[in-house]
Amino acid sequence: MAEIETQDSYLELGGSFLKDLPRSIKRYPYEGAPSFFRILNLELNRSQSSGCDRTEFVLFHASRETIEHLFCPINEENTITSHCSAYDLTEELFLARMASSAEHATASYALDHAITECLLPMGLSTKIHGYPGAVIAGRDRGKAGDHGWGPRRPPPGYPKRPSVVLEVAYSESDSKLNSDVRFWLDPDDGNARICLTLRIDRDEPNIRIERWNLHNDRPHRSQVVWIKRASNRMRVDNHPLVIPFQDLFLRPPSTPAERDLRISAQTLEDIADRIWDMQGFQ
């Protein structure tokens, strides 16, 4: 594992969550369901047009009461709620996803499978919960990750929520990813131990995976893995991808079989191949 100690390996907690997202994400007032879906269709068509910034998200201004209603657990089957990706009650903003890409789904499934494969020899594959797309509420903010994992029976004092979270970026900017990382690692918000980010290059067969954790009370990028293909040759840098056992299960290993999860170069190549097949790279 390679430790990355460059200047931008640290982020700051706190500050704006949604207000400072990149300007490529359009802003609208929320004016009810008909307007909401009309805007989503408009922006989806715009993002698919040539020459336009490509993004999967739209940001809406709404009252605190409206946001609390939209993200209320009893409204999970509501068609508007199903598009809601994140919210901030203080800023009175919520983020809607127009449509999740097939690349997002493929990456999430492939990494989930890789984690399960690591846990099988330990006899722990049934001892974790998956949290695909689940909205996790913090103090005044909430967010849905692309996937997440946590112990089925957390230790006393720990809530049942993901300890490791995955965010996949296909059209999103790094500033959007950094906002995600800050939310997940903030003890007042996601309170996860690890945030994994997986960035997919739209134009070339390149994938970047980062592992973030808190270090000295700041989000720290502790590992970066690159998977690239050129001239029909695959290259994986800084493998294996390591997920510390204690960060996933919120306890130290207790048997010789229990150890850090190490996702090998071969498995990382398999993950990349699945994604690139979906993108149409030959």
pLDDT band at residue 5 under the 50/70/90 scheme: very low
68 and 111 co-located in one domain: no
Question: What does the pLDDT look like over 54-72, one tens digit per residue?
Answer: 678 999 999 999 999 888 7
3-state secondary structure of 117: helix
Please check whether residue 249 is in contact with residue 151, taking contact to mean a CB–CB distance below 8 angstroms.
Answer: yes
Whether residue 173 sits in one domain with residue 79: no
The first and second tokens of residue 196, run together, are 């994994």
Indicate the SS3 state at residue 212.
strand
Examine the domain organization and report whether 127 and 219 are in the same domain.
Answer: yes
**Cβ 244 vs Cβ 251: under 8 Å:** no
Angle between helices 265-279 and 102-119 (to 10 degrees): 160
Q: Which residue has the higher pLDDT, 136 or 75?
A: 136
Identify whether 15 is part of a domain.
Answer: no
User: What is the average pLDDT score of the chain?
Assistant: 90
> What is the average per-residue pLDDT within 29-41?
94
Whether residue 252 sits in one domain with residue 129? yes
184 vs 49, which has greater pLDDT?
184
Query: 185-194 as b/e, with b when 16 or more CB fall inside 10 Å?
Result: bbeebbbbbb
Q: How far apart are CA 154 and CA 129, in angstroms?
A: 10
Q: What is the pLDDT of residues 157-197, one digit of tens each?
A: 899 999 999 999 987 778 889 999 999 999 999 999 999 99
Residue 10 lies in a domain: no
Whole-number Å distance between alpha carbons of 48 and 40: 12
Q: How far apart are CA 38 and CA 40, in angstroms?
A: 6
pLDDT digits (tens, 9 = 90+) for 219-268: 999 999 999 998 889 999 999 999 999 999 999 999 999 999 999 999 99
- Domain final position from 67, 97, 127: 97
The verdict on 80 and 186 lying in the same domain is no
User: What whole-number distance in Å separates Cα of residue 67 and Cα of residue 86?
Assistant: 10
Residue 19 counted as domain residue: no
Give me the mean pLDDT over the 85-112 stretch. 93
Least confident of 20-29, 141-150, 160-169, 217-226: 20-29
* Domain extent for 257: 101-279
38/79 same-domain check:
yes
For the segment 131-157, the average pLDDT, to the nearest whole number, is 93
